[in-house]
Amino acid sequence: ELEMPAFIATKVSQYSCQRKTTLDNYNKKFTDAFEVMAENYEFKENEIFCLEFLRAASLLKSLPFSVTRMKDIQGLPCMGDQVRDIIEEIIEEGESSRVKEVLNDERYKAFKQFTSVFGVGVKTSEKWYRMGLRTVEEVKADKTLKLSKMQKAGFLYYEDLVSCVSKAEADAVSLIVKNTVCSFLPDALVTITGGFRRGKNIGHDIDFLITNPGPREDDELLHKVIDLWKKQGLLLYCDIIESTFVKEQLPSRKVDAMDHFQKCFAILKLYQPRVDNSTCNTSKKLGMAEVKDWKAIRVDLVITPFEQYAYALLGWTGSRQFGRDLRRYAAHERKMILDNHALYDRRKRIFLKSGSEEEIFAHLGLDYVQPWERNA
Ligand code: TTP
Ligand code: MN
Ligand code: MN
Ligand code: MN
């Protein structure tokens, strides 16, 4: 942990893509508080305030020291009045009354529960809240509600899905994905992305990028993989989204736009051989309910053309805030448009090709930031 004065000499950028943010967070009590505030504003669809708190959280995560006095944040970007008020409260009282208020708020608590269900977002939560529903149990019990296929799966596997995915589970699923993909396309490249690529040891899902180096493209690959898992009884849910990519089209300028890759949001059945303890054997002998020997795991599979692979890797590695800042930096500092498919230089009116993440940073005039330093 660095001392404050040694650190202050270097100017901190307002963009997280110009900072290094590892998983060591010296300011967790502040960043947890900001994330609650941001989430509450997200539930209220106040994007401006939501982003203000997310940016502040992200900035404090990148500091190599713990903030203990208001002086410590002097001269730092992303520290607006709302943010400073909460920092001050936490420094003085050990906690923030505004954050406590949110944590006790009926609407926040209900939305927090609803959005923890796979397939349920702010819009659905709003609807359920207006109907007077407050808990996941109440939603489950209400048989008049029309649930989407995704939400039905979300409730069916709720307990498994809210319990986080471990690194060991990610490695096990990774083997399954690689083996299945390579049984159809031996040269395919399968890469774990998302939080696990940033070095996290838990996640809410496991993200994979799949590409085929060389000329051959196989639009059927994803369908073949999914069909095989279905046949093997490993697929609990899947929603395949076909590619909507249009060549020559300029990258999307929207900060949180979905990309156009063929992809699949799935739930896989991961078998977990249990330690052979006597209780299990007894229950089997007695014909009691079998002990569940699997866990439902959320898996995202994304198929990318090889020439877009570096852009897809950068986008899907995240963090979400790191990606937002990369695109904001490209637009505002370089007059370029970046998305998960390409980088477009608006001054030169050309697409900039990249075969690696390093090349994308170089095109943007940024120092390279390692995946484990992107936990913004
Ligand atoms: P997530 O899986 O949502 O997030 P994560 O892996 O960082 O964290 P968690 O442990 O909660 O799973 O998304 C991974 C990254 O992919 C994220 O930075 C945003 C990006 N992403 C896209 O680029 N396009 C998309 O359509 C989605 C869903 C995510
Ligand atoms: Mn993820
Ligand atoms: Mn997530
Ligand atoms: Mn994901």
Residue 97, phi then psi, degrees to nearest 5: -65, -35
Place of tokens 């609990």: 236
- Spatial CA neighbour of 127 closest among 151, 105, 149: 151
Residue 360 Cα to chain centre, angstroms: 21
Domains, the chain, ordered by start = 4-102 (1.10.150.110), 107-156 (1.10.150.20), 165-307 (3.30.460.10), 320-373 (3.30.210.10)
User: What's the mean pLDDT in 22-37?
Assistant: 98
The reported pLDDT for the residue numbered 89 is 98
Give the tens place of pLDDT for each residue, 281-321: 555 566 667 789 999 999 999 999 999 999 999 999 999 99
DSSP H helical ranges for the chain: 4-8, 28-43, 47-62, 81-93, 97-104, 106-114, 122-130, 136-141, 149-156, 158-162, 167-184, 194-197, 221-231, 278-285, 309-317, 320-334, 357-363
Place of tokens 């954050």: 99
Answer whether 39 contacts ligand 1 (Cβ < 6 A): no
Is the backbone of residue 261 left (phi > 0), alpha (psi -120 to 50) or beta? beta
The reported pLDDT for the residue numbered 319 is 98
User: What's the mean pLDDT in 324-345?
Assistant: 97
Ligand 3 centroid vs 312 CA: distance in angstroms?
A: 17
Give the tens place of pLDDT for each residue, 135-156: 999 999 999 999 999 999 999 9
CA distance 49 to 71: 24
The reported pLDDT for the residue numbered 281 is 58
Q: Which residues pair with 351 in a beta bridge?
A: 344
Max mean pLDDT among 184-188, 253-257, 362-366 falls in: 362-366
**For the chain, what is the mean pLDDT?**
94
Specify the DSSP element, H or E, that contains 299: strand 294-304
- Portion of the chain with pLDDT greater than 90, in percent: 87
306 burial class (0-12, 13-18, 19+ CB within 10 angstroms)?
A: middle
What's at 277, amino acid-wise? N
The two structure tokens encoding residue 75: 């001269």
Ligand 1 centroid vs 363 CA: distance in angstroms?
A: 24
Q: Are strands 294-304 and 206-211 parallel, antiparallel or unpaired?
A: parallel
Model ipTM over 0.85: yes
Spatial neighbors of 187 by CB under 8 A, at least 6 apart, are 212, 213, 214
CA distance 360 to 235: 36
User: What's the mean pLDDT in 31-36?
Assistant: 98
The reported pLDDT for the residue numbered 3 is 61
Answer whether 258 contacts ligand 1 (Cβ < 6 A): yes
Going by pLDDT thresholds of 50, 70 and 90, the confidence category of residue 245 is: confident
Ligand 4 centroid vs 292 CA: distance in angstroms?
A: 25
Give the tens place of pLDDT for each residue, 48-65: 999 999 999 999 999 999
CA distance 150 to 340: 25
**Residue 132 CA: distances (Å) to CA of 75, 126, 140:** 46, 10, 14
CA dihedral 192, 194, 196, 201 (to 10 degrees): -150
Give the tens place of pLDDT for each residue, 81-114: 999 999 999 999 999 999 999 999 999 999 999 9
Ligand 1, closest atom to CA 165?
10
- Portion of the chain with pLDDT greater than 70, in percent: 93
Pocket test for ligand 1, best of 165, 200, 207 (most atoms within 8 A of CB): 207
The reported pLDDT for the residue numbered 48 is 98
The reported pLDDT for the residue numbered 280 is 55
> Which of these ranges, 253-257, 280-284, 365-369, has the smallest mean pLDDT?
280-284
Is the backbone of residue 268 left (phi > 0), alpha (psi -120 to 50) or beta? beta
Catalytic residues: 205, 207, 300
What's at 142, amino acid-wise? D
The reported pLDDT for the residue numbered 269 is 98
- Identify whether the C-beta of residue 20 lies closer than 8 Å to the C-beta of residue 58: no
The reported pLDDT for the residue numbered 253 is 77
User: What's the mean pLDDT in 211-237?
Assistant: 92
